[in-house]
């Protein structure tokens, strides 16, 4: 009897289906990740006139990306690792990269859903409309931005094994990113930040992602600074991901 | 694939975690149609040995051949040739039992339709739990699903890490019937257990491992016969009859391990 190793396409499809089902059954977290940015778009109607639709959308998207990429991803990975779910999958003939890629693909799909929902609410409630190229580029920049927060989530689960500590750390990092990011962003928009602080903010991960997304929404405003911000974001992703993958262990013992 | 009599061949296996050596130069084989018991006190190196075979930990020296496939060189083929039940059941709590069956049938390349799923649920006495999520099952029910998954692809080698822990007598009986069925197909089984009675009753051969070393490999009766006149073993026997447990304690010591 010859041993059969199933095709990777079949294995990946099976894994992805199971991961999607698991995500759907845990949709409470997704709903919260979706509701808050949608509410932000609805409540910031007045900000559209002063700060612009692109600013409102990019900040709402940033919140959604941080909530889902950073907290959702890291907590799910930490919990499943602690329960030994990964170990059970790893004793099957599945390449380890397929296990992780399936998880990441599910997260990216959720990010696309959140992005589209924010676009729809922004258009419907705040009458924010982008050009077709603006929508397409923003979808891509959202995925890059999500990639950054996923890489931070990966770094957290790589450095911390206890799922409760992962949960509290990701919440802490979330607050730092969202609260400080948004507050500083407001000051920056109002040009109330001292130039040296503004430079630091612009080149921080939150700043580069915001710049990239805001420029993506209005492609005519895309300039060298937006390109550099995109490259810096990708650089952040590479650094965090390399450390996060190298330090990651599949079990907590 | 090999034509040899061994389904599993472990030679000179060493596993270390940092500076701690968990398994030292361990060798043994598991033959077709054999139940091989890997026994040892807590922390003796049983789970590390199994983990190395399963591909969960990297081993420093030695070779592991699973049904003729070198586990280091062809890990996917080695893993496809074996079925594994880990010490703790570990499936996604949100998935329903049929979904778990579909997941593992898919990753092992086993075709599975609704009719077959129904038959499996009936076989593992979970036909009433078809809509239950894995996290909603009792410990025994979870264990039954886990054991079935370990043999879903009809593997030539089955590794069971303390499979009877937490099972009621009925579930335990069902488990042994299932293991017997696997053995009757000529497949090999490796199991770890802390129950010496169980090992004595079901294992064809046992290997006793302690401090990372394989102390001895033989049939339970041969071990008892070999040590039954040993004064230390006689002193340990409680009812005048030497058991495998007496031999085990004489070989591994009376000290309780953490």
- Say whether pLDDT at A101 is over 50: yes
**pLDDT of B177:** 86
CA separation (Å) from A201 to A65, A175, A212, B140? Answer: 18, 16, 13, 55
Selecting from B67, B95, B104 the residue whose C-beta is nearest the C-beta of A92 gives B104
The answer to whether the CB atoms of B107 and A84 lie below 8 A apart is no
Contact B133 A91 (CB under 8 A): no
> pLDDT for A56-88, tens place per residue?
888 888 888 888 888 888 999 999 999 999 999
Q: Virtual CA dihedral for A74, A79, A83, A88, nearest 10 degrees?
A: -30
Q: Where are the extended beta strands (E) located within B154-202?
A: 157-161, 188-192
* pLDDT of the residue at B258: 59
A25, A85, A94: residue with CB nearest B107: A94
- d(CA A177, CA A67) in angstroms, rounded, equals 10
Q: How far is B237 from chain A (nearest CA, A)?
A: 37
Based on DSSP, count helices (H) and strands (E) in chain B, helices before strands: 10, 10
CA distances to A25, A130, A131 from A64, rounded to whole Å, are: 19, 19, 22
E strand intervals along B104-193: 157-161, 188-192
Q: Which of B56, B91, B104 sits opposite A85 (nearest CB)?
A: B91
Give the C-alpha distances (Å, rounded to integers) separating B93 from A69, A84, A103, B97, B134.
Answer: 22, 11, 16, 10, 5
Residues of B in contact with A25 (CB under 8 A): 94-95, 133
From residue B104, give the alpha-carbon distance in Å to each of A83, A212, B83, B198.
Answer: 17, 41, 11, 29
How many Cβ atoms are within 10 Å of B180's Cβ, its own excluded?
12
Q: What is the pLDDT of residues B134-176, one digit of tens each?
A: 999 988 888 889 989 999 999 999 999 888 877 788 888 888 8
pLDDT tens for each residue of A150-196: 999 999 999 999 999 999 999 999 888 888 888 888 888 788 889 89
| Residue A175 distance to chain B (closest CA, Å) | 29
pLDDT at A193: 86
Instruction: Flag if B92 and A22 touch (Cβ within 8 Å).
Output: yes
Q: Give dist(CA A34, CA A201) in Å, integer.
A: 26
Among candidates A4, A84, A93 on the partner chain, residue whose Cβ is nearest the Cβ of B86: A84
pLDDT of residue B66: 96
The SS3 of residue B191 is strand
- pLDDT at position B257 is 63
Which pLDDT belongs to residue B255? 66
Q: What angle do CA B62, B68, B74 make, to 5 degrees?
A: 70
Tell me which of A106-110, A143-147, A176-180, B182-186 is least confident: A176-180
Nearest to A88 among B1, B91, B94 (CB): B91
Which residues, 6 or more positions from B7, have their beta carbon under 8 angstroms from its beta carbon?
A: B30, B31, B32, B34, B66, B67, B156, B157, B187, B188
A120: left (phi over 0), alpha (psi -120 to 50) or beta: alpha
The answer to whether the beta carbons of residues A33 and A72 sit under 8 Å apart is yes
Residues contacting B25, CB < 8 A, separation 6+: B12, B13, B14, B61, B62, B213
Write the DSSP string, B10-37.
EEEEEEEETTEEEEEEEEEEEETT-EEE
Please tell me the predicted confidence (pLDDT) of residue B1: 47
Can you say whether residue B230 is alpha, beta or left, with left for phi > 0 and alpha for psi between -120 and 50 degrees? Answer: beta
- Measured in angstroms, the CA of A15 and the nearest CA of chain B are apart by 7
| ipTM field | 0.89
Which chain B residues are Cβ-neighbours of A11 within 8 angstroms?
106-107
Tabulate helix, strand, coil % of chain A (nearest 5): 85, 0, 15
* Cα separation, A244 vs A73, whole angstroms: 13
Instruction: Return d(Cα B79, Cα B82) in angstroms, integer.
Output: 5
DSSP-derived 3-state class of residue B237: coil
Give the residue ranges of chain B where pLDDT is below 50: 1-2
Distance CA A219, CA A130 (A): 9
Interface of B to A at Cβ within 8 Å reads 1, 54-56, 67, 69, 76-77, 79-82, 84, 86, 88, 90-95, 99, 102-104, 106-109, 133, 156
Q: In the prediction, which pLDDT does A13 show?
A: 94
- In this structure, what are the phi and psi dihedrals at residue B113, rounded to the nearest 5 degrees? -105, 180
Residue A154 burial (10 A CB sphere; 0-12, 13-18, 19+): buried
């Amino acid at each position: 009897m010859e041993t059969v190793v199933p095709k990777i396409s079949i294995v990946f499809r099976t894994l992805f289906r199971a991961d999607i089902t698991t995500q759907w059954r845990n949709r409470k977290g997704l709903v919260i990740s979706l509701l808050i940015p949608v509410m932000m778009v609805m409540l910031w109607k007045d900000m559209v006139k002063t700060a612009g639709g692109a600013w409102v959308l990019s900040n709402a998207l940033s919140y959604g990306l941080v909530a889902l990429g950073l907290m959702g991803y890291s907590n799910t990975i930490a919990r499943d690792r602690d329960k030994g779910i990964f170990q059970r999958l790893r004793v099957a003939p599945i390449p380890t990269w397929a296990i992780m890629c399936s998880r990441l693909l599910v997260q990216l799909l959720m990010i696309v859903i959140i992005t589209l929902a924010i676009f729809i609410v922004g258009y419907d409630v705040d009458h924010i409309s982008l050009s077709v190229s603006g929508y397409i580029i923003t979808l891509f920049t959202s995925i890059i931005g999500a990639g950054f927060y996923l890489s931070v989530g990966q770094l957290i689960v790589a450095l911390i094994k206890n799922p409760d500590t992962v949960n509290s750390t990701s919440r802490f990092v979330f607050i730092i990113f969202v609260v400080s990011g948004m507050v500083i962003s407001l000051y920056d928009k109002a040009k109330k930040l001292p130039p040296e602080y503004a430079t630091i903010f612009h080149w921080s991960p939150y700043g580069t992602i915001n710049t990239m997304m805001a420029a993506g929404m209005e492609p005519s405003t895309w300039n060298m600074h937006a390109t550099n911000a995109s490259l810096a974001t990708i650089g952040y992703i590479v650094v965090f991901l390399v450390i996060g993958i190298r330090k990651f262990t599949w079990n907590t013992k | 694939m090999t034509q040899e009599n061994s389904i599993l061949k472990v030679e000179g296996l060493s596993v270390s975690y940092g500076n701690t050596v968990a398994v030292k130069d361990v060798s043994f084989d598991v033959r077709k149609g054999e139940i091989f018991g890997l026994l040892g006190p807590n922390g003796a190196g049983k789970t590390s040995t199994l983990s190395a075979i399963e591909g969960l930990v990297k081993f420093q020296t030695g070779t592991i051949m699973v049904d003729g496939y070198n586990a280091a060189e062809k890990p996917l083929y080695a893993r496809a040739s074996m079925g594994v039940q880990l010490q703790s059941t570990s499936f996604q709590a949100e998935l329903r039992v049929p979904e778990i069956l579909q997941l593992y049938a898919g990753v092992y390349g086993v075709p599975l339709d609704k009719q077959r799923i129904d038959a499996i649920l009936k076989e593992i006495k979970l036909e009433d739990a078809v809509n239950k999520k894995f996290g909603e099952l009792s410990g025994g029910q979870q264990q039954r699903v886990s054991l079935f998954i370990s043999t879903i692809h009809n593997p030539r080698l089955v590794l069971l890490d303390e499979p009877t822990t937490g099972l009621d007598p009925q579930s335990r009986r069902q488990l042994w019937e299932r293991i017997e069925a696997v053995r009757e197909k000529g497949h090999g089984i490796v199991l770890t257990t802390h129950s010496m009675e169980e090992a004595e009753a079901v294992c064809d051969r046992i290997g006793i491992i302690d401090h990372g070393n394989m102390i001895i490999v033989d049939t339970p009766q041969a071990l008892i016969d070999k040590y039954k006149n040993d004064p230390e073993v006689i002193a340990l026997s409680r009812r005048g009859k030497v058991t495998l447990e007496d031999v085990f304690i004489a070989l591994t010591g009376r000290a309780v391990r953490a």
